[in-house]
């Protein structure tokens, strides 16, 4: 089931009470701290003219999958693993590059965010070898990001628990995209069909954007049929085809049936796997997925399948109790980026969800960056 942030006009307040505040705001699924201490893109980039050298103050180092194996670590300052992980995911998004360059229209706080992210992403993508001592100072670059985020209205909330309690990768990524005014560039355009159950009210539709998948095995709280789910590819396919139900809190009927129909899939999509509602499920990771698309006729209340959009994963944020880290796809495989540790080659199975015998999750996905593979 996908949770759509614009559904408040069509679903009752108890729906959001059931989901919880974090899910309702799209800020993430997991209470987090930091216990202790790839592929190429067809996206538009910002090329450096051959007539001049690379300008550290203005230019964006292009994403090079061959350099992912050389990506440097970022120090864990207090409980900053969630921020470090969010930055690594932003560094894996080539389509973000045009929004990292200097923009004269920025206010001071936004300019500071744009500059600090550009500098640290240049450091990461270059393998930590850009010329100039300040550009090789991981701690200094990270502290500049902390300061910029703390000064920006859309990002300061992600800094509140930096030195105790931790935070969410989703907060860092989503709020960074919002601050750069590109939030919906990395989400699906969808039509949401809301049908009251056991009530004469006809279905209603709502146009929205979405990228949040609720991984719940509770049939009353958005669960798909998990007997058909063997990996994240199955889950994404069913999340966009099967209706899910949620309590309505109304005396005259008990549930809403909600279906989400993608109508436009951008070149890159950031999907959040929201494990807040329990019991949840540990999902094996699929590098290749498909997103079904539809043509929706509101007047006739019909949805016609148009085709499947194939996508390939570029990066992911992984969570275990108390800690986040990033895994980035390079030219020759996947590389783990875990705080100050340099990039380490890992098998694809290191992105799989894991559970102990009691069913509690001991490792699961938080965010995945996908790119269309048909473009």
Q: Specify whether the CB–CB gap between 186 and 209 falls below 8 A.
A: no
Collapse the DSSP code of 115 into the 3-class scheme (helix H, G, I; strand E, B; otherwise coil) and give the result.
helix
Domain ranges of the chain: 1-43+58-375
Q: What is the mean pLDDT of residues 338-359?
A: 94
261 token code pair: 């129909």
- What gap in Å lies between CA 139 and CA 126, rounded to an integer? 16
Query: Using one digit for the tens of pLDDT, what is the confidence trace for 114-159?
Result: 999 999 999 999 998 765 656 678 999 999 999 999 999 999 988 8
Query: Using one digit for the tens of pLDDT, what is the confidence trace for 153-201?
Result: 999 988 887 777 788 899 999 999 999 999 899 999 999 998 888 777 8
User: Rounded to two decimals, what is the model's pTM?
Assistant: 0.85
Q: What is the DSSP string of 268-297?
A: EEEEEEE--SSS-------SEEEEEEEEEE
On the question of pLDDT at 373 being above 90, the answer is: yes
On the question of pLDDT at 339 being above 70, the answer is: yes
Cα angle 210, 183, 148; round to 5: 140
pLDDT of residue 256: 78
Percent of the chain with pLDDT over 70: 82
293 token code pair: 């698309």
If you ran DSSP here, which 8-state letter would residue 8 be given? G
On the question of pLDDT at 2 being above 60, the answer is: no
79 token code pair: 């409980």
- What gap in Å lies between CA 270 and CA 369, rounded to an integer? 5
138 token code pair: 């991981």
Q: Specify whether the CB–CB gap between 113 and 155 falls below 8 A.
A: yes
Residue 206: count other Cβ atoms within 10 Å of its Cβ.
17
pLDDT band (50, 70, 90) for residue 18: very low
pLDDT of residue 30: 35
Q: What is the mean pLDDT of residues 315-331?
A: 96
What is the residue-averaged pLDDT of the chain? 83
Write down the CATH number for the domain with range 1-43+58-375: 3.90.70.10
Query: Using one digit for the tens of pLDDT, what is the confidence trace for 28-73?
Result: 333 344 643 333 333 344 555 555 677 767 889 999 999 999 999 9
Strand order in the sheet with 255-264: 204-210, 188-196, 255-264, 244-247
* Helices vs. strands in the chain: H and E counts, helices first: 7, 14
b/e for 75-110, b at 16 or more Cβ within 10 A? ebbbbbbbbbbbbbbbbbbbbbbebbeeeeebeebb
Measuring CA to CA, which residue among 3, 21, 30, 45 is closest to residue 85?
Answer: 30
Q: What is the DSSP string of 60-71?
A: -PPP-GGGGGGP
Q: What is the mean pLDDT of residues 299-323?
A: 95
Q: Specify whether the CB–CB gap between 190 and 263 falls below 8 A.
A: yes
On the question of pLDDT at 292 being above 90, the answer is: yes
- What gap in Å lies between CA 314 and CA 317, rounded to an integer? 11
CB-neighbour burial class of residue 239 (10 A; exposed 0-12, middle 13-18, buried 19+): buried
Measuring CA to CA, which residue among 178, 187, 183 is closest to residue 149?
Answer: 178
């Amino acid at each position: 089931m996908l949770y759509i942030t614009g559904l408040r006009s069509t679903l009752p307040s108890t729906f959001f009470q059931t989901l919880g505040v974090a899910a309702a705001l799209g800020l993430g699924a997991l209470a987090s701290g930091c216990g202790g201490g790839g592929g190429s893109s067809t996206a538009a980039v910002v090329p450096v003219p051959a007539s001049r050298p690379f300008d550290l103050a203005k230019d964006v180092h292009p994403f090079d999958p061959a350099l992912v194996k050389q990506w440097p670590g970022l120090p864990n300052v207090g409980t900053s693993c969630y921020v470090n992980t969010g930055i690594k995911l932003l560094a894996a998004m080539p389509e973000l590059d045009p929004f990292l360059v200097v923009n004269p229209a920025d206010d001071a706080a936004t300019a500071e965010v744009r500059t600090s992210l550009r500098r640290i992403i240049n450091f990461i993508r270059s393998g930590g070898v850009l010329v100039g001592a300040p550009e090789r100072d991981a701690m200094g670059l990270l502290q500049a990001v902390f300061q910029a985020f703390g000064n920006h209205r859309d990002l300061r909330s992600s800094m509140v628990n930096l030195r105790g309690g931790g935070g969410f990768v989703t907060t860092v990524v989503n709020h960074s995209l919002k601050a750069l005014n590109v939030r919906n560039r990395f989400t699906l355009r969808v039509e949401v069909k809301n049908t009251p159950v056991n009530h004469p009210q006809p279905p209603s539709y709502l146009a929205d954007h979405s990228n949040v998948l609720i991984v719940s095995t509770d049939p009353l709280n958005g669960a798909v049929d998990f007997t058909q789910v063997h990996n994240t590819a199955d889950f994404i396919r069913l999340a966009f085809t099967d209706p899910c139900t949620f309590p309505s809190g109304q005396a005259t009927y008990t549930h809403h049936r909600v279906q989400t129909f993608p109508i436009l899939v951008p070149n890159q999509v950031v999907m959040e796997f929201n494990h807040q509602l329990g019991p949840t499920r540990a999902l094996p990771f699929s590098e290749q997925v498909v997103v079904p698309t539809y043509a929706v006729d509101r007047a006739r209340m019909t949805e016609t399948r148009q085709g499947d959009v194939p996508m390939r994963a570029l990066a992911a944020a992984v969570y275990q109790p108390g800690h986040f880290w990033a895994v980035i796809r390079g030219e020759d495989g996947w590389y783990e980026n875990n705080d100050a540790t340099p990039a380490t080659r890992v098998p694809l199975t290191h992105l799989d969800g894991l559970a102990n015998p009691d069913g509690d999750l001991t490792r699961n996905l938080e965010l995945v960056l996908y790119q269309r593979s048909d473009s």
